Chain A
Amino acid sequence: MTEFQLFHDIVTDPFDYARNWKEANRRKIVGHFCSYTPEEIIHAAGALPFRIFGSGEAISRSDEHLQAYSCSFVRSALADALSGKLAFLDGTVFPHTCDTIQRLSDIWRINLTFGFHSDIGLPVKLDTASAREYLKSVFKKFKNELSGHLDCTITTDDLQRAAGLYNRMRSDMKQMFDLRRENPSLISSNDLQALVKASMIMDREVFSEKLSAILRDLSAIKPQPSQSLKRLVLSGGMCNIPSVHSLIEDCGAAIVWDDSCSGARYFEGSIAPHGDIIESIAERYMDKIECPAKHTDLFRRGEALVNIAKNNKADGVIFLFLKFCDPHAFDYPYVKELLVKEGIASMLLEIEAPLPSEEQLKTRCQAFLETL
């Protein structure tokens, strides 16, 4: 769809977009790695929050800092930084997630000199009063640090406006997902993936306007009679390989939901408009279905996925994991077992950038679809 071309262009070369944006707007850009980065605070500071995905180019540049058993996302992000691709950044923010990102932060701080470096020491548990209070204090600390780094003041009004904008974007993205669920032929998953990823790179105001317009147009289209496509849910961490979505759909399936941190887990939830605004922002991060590197309840993630599969009338689930992603790999057996109990079939695809053999993946997808 031509409306999505802009998003594809940005996702294909986010560095070019960022450099041009910076020159045109004379504003600052803050890089980060995780769906737990309080982007609203960065936006309120007048800077562009830029999610680093790793281009997958010249990954070997990171070999002198990271062993081969580090995930390809982290190796790729470091390679981009070392090769100067990210030189436009005015700073980088590292929210605490997994052991690998934790060490990437150290390696980044020691070896790279552009911009400021900020660690956000998130708690790993989100289910106790003291952890919740701590997370709020961490976000407040980050706000103060950021205004120092960017030499600006961040007012309550700035934060309120940012929260409003993010609520709008997130709700619109959810509506896009809902539309696809009802009518998979309306939007290709490849387009939708580009849209969600572009939402983490683009000027947020511009993005929000484009998204609203597309949503208006698509909502006006009458649902088509449903095709006999197998309905699949994707689940995993960050997907950095857009061709995977096309590859799965080309096998004759419709992806009806994407439970990943570059999918629905990025836009889930909204910020309550009342009370201390930073605390409201923090509460959204605490209440959404957690990343497996965090803890709330022993069964919450698995049960959430079962519900997603049921609510979306899915025929099956594909776990799309980055190789060497420990938090997801540890959860896999129990989550799969919960799905089995509900009679929901699943398949695990372990991926790594660059994608090894498309043919092999296709064969596995086709075989899986035939069993459904």
Chain B
Amino acid sequence: MSNEPKPADPEKEKRKIKSVGKMKEIMTGYYIEAKTAEQTGKKVAWITSGGPVEPLIAMDVIPVYPENHGAMIGASKMGSDLCEKAESMGYARDLCSYARADIACAPINGGPIGGLPKPDMLVCCNNICGTVLKWYQVQARHFGVPLFIFDTPFCHTEFSAEARRYVRRQVDEYIEFLEGVCASKMDVDRMHQVGRLSLEGQRLWQAVLDTTMHKPAPMSAFDAFFHLALIVTLRGTQTVVDYYTALLAEMKTRIENRISAVPKETYRLLWDNLPIWYRTRWLSEKFAAHEACLVADTYTSAWCGTMKYLDEADFLGTMAEAYSRIYLNIGVDEMARDVIAMIDKYAADGVVMHSNRSCKPYSFGQYDIKKIIQRERDVPVLLIEADMVDERSFAESQVDTRIDAFMEVLENRK
């Protein structure tokens, strides 16, 4: 009897997002294409997650994301081993675990997909951190390929006229760089089309995220962490537009049919910082057990947060500003304003902040954001100390207790 497959729990089946299968299919196809690029003669560029990918798409270059690789390593729980390997190569344990894990994979084709396809070039945009500069220098030395640095000066309080000129010039330098490596000219019409598709993809992704304004939310931040992969990796393609169009339709149907991400959603929470990739399921179940849904987060919305600066008719001209003013490249007070706007928009009862040892620009300033939130909105904030990939920095029982205590505070306020 026990050998017979258990009948699927219809309640759980109902809650499963059907688009997941399509997404897995697209991502598998994408990685196969990237891994076989050598045979098909396509060029591969490694690029940072916040980097300007559209010119690569327009040049028919396959973009590959070491950070996405880091996330996969974390989710497949291979992080600690690979981080230790990097430490034995001389990289300090305090360094970013995405970087450590990826650096450790390169010489041995390690990790969940047997290493990333070898790059023909590296494109590093420092709008997310200074760490990527160091990480890409390491890989440029390892692979001996050209490195383009797209330098976006930090916008503490402004995007200065000087910075605007500098970043705009780099857009042209970037295209020259690509034309050099690819030995072909960029097709201006194609670039225009890619820019339009990028913006369309961003609009649709924002619309998907916005469906959680509905009570109960049809999806959670944990779902967003998964469905995010396309807006990061294939922004600027029709594939992304089609996928998010379907996902949006699915979310709308869920709302109509009152299918929620969390059964009996009572508490609505906001997540801050990168996911704890090796514990997403545990955390998701933990919060669901408290009837709490993480309805939105500051991380997945970063890929559509600067649409207001983009002009479809002049994508290359306006992307300088859009890429410079993303969530991680602005001052702590502006970040706090964004978080407060999200609390209002998604009617959040509380905020959960992941203090992430691996991400200093995301984590330093959280204590001040917490204070600003509490001053402006009187919303409880929980801080969890962890790391996005390196499980050694996660104390489960401590996090467990802190979440229980936090949820008790929320229960007493209802």
A binding-site residues for B, Cβ under 8 Å: 64-67, 69-70, 94, 96, 98-100, 102-107, 109-111, 119, 121-125, 128, 130-131, 133-134, 137-138, 141, 292-293, 295, 298-299, 323-324, 326-327, 329-334, 336, 350
Question: Complex: how many Å from CA A332 to CA B89?
Answer: 10
Whether B364 pairs with A99 at a CB distance below 8 angstroms is yes
B binding-site residues for A, Cβ under 8 Å: 89-92, 94-96, 99, 126, 129-131, 133-135, 137-138, 140-141, 147, 149, 151, 153-154, 156-157, 160, 162-163, 165-166, 169-170, 173, 331-333, 355, 357, 360-361, 363-368, 385
Whether B134 pairs with A333 at a CB distance below 8 angstroms is no
Whether A131 pairs with B141 at a CB distance below 8 angstroms is no
Shortest beta-carbon distance, A17 to chain B, in Å?
Answer: 30
Whether A128 pairs with B153 at a CB distance below 8 angstroms is no
Whether A292 pairs with B134 at a CB distance below 8 angstroms is yes
Contact of B151 among A64, A67, A119, A124 (CB under 8 A): A124
Whether A99 pairs with B361 at a CB distance below 8 angstroms is yes
Question: Complex: how many Å from CA A35 to CA B345?
Answer: 44
Contact of B130 among A99, A109, A128 (CB under 8 A): A99
Contact of A330 among B137, B169, B364 (CB under 8 A): B137
Shortest beta-carbon distance, B208 to chain A, in Å?
Answer: 30
| Main SS class of interface, A | helix
Shortest beta-carbon distance, B370 to chain A, in Å?
Answer: 10
Question: Complex: how many Å from CA A119 to CA B159?
Answer: 12
Whether A326 pairs with B360 at a CB distance below 8 angstroms is yes
Whether A326 pairs with B96 at a CB distance below 8 angstroms is yes
Whether B331 pairs with A109 at a CB distance below 8 angstroms is yes
CB-based nearest A residue for B93: A329
Contact of B364 among A66, A123, A138 (CB under 8 A): A66
Chain A residues contacting B130 (CB-CB under 8 Å) are 98-99, 102, 124, 293, 326-327
Contact of A298 among B91, B140, B169 (CB under 8 A): B140
Shortest beta-carbon distance, B344 to chain A, in Å?
Answer: 21
For the complex of A and B, list the 10 residue pairs with the smallest distance between their C-beta atoms, beginning with the closest.
A330-B134, A333-B90, A103-B364, A106-B332, A134-B166, A121-B153, A329-B92, A99-B360, A130-B169, A137-B162
Inter-chain pairs besides A103-B360, A326-B95, A330-B131, 7 sampled, C-beta below 8 Å:
A66-B367, A105-B156, A121-B156, A128-B173, A130-B173, A299-B141, A330-B138
Chain A residues contacting B156 (CB-CB under 8 Å) are 94, 102, 105-106, 109, 119, 121
Question: Complex: how many Å from CA A190 to CA B169?
Answer: 47
Question: Complex: how many Å from CA A292 to CA B396?
Answer: 36
Whether A106 pairs with B141 at a CB distance below 8 angstroms is no
Whether A131 pairs with B151 at a CB distance below 8 angstroms is yes
Whether B364 pairs with A67 at a CB distance below 8 angstroms is yes
Shortest beta-carbon distance, B367 to chain A, in Å?
Answer: 5
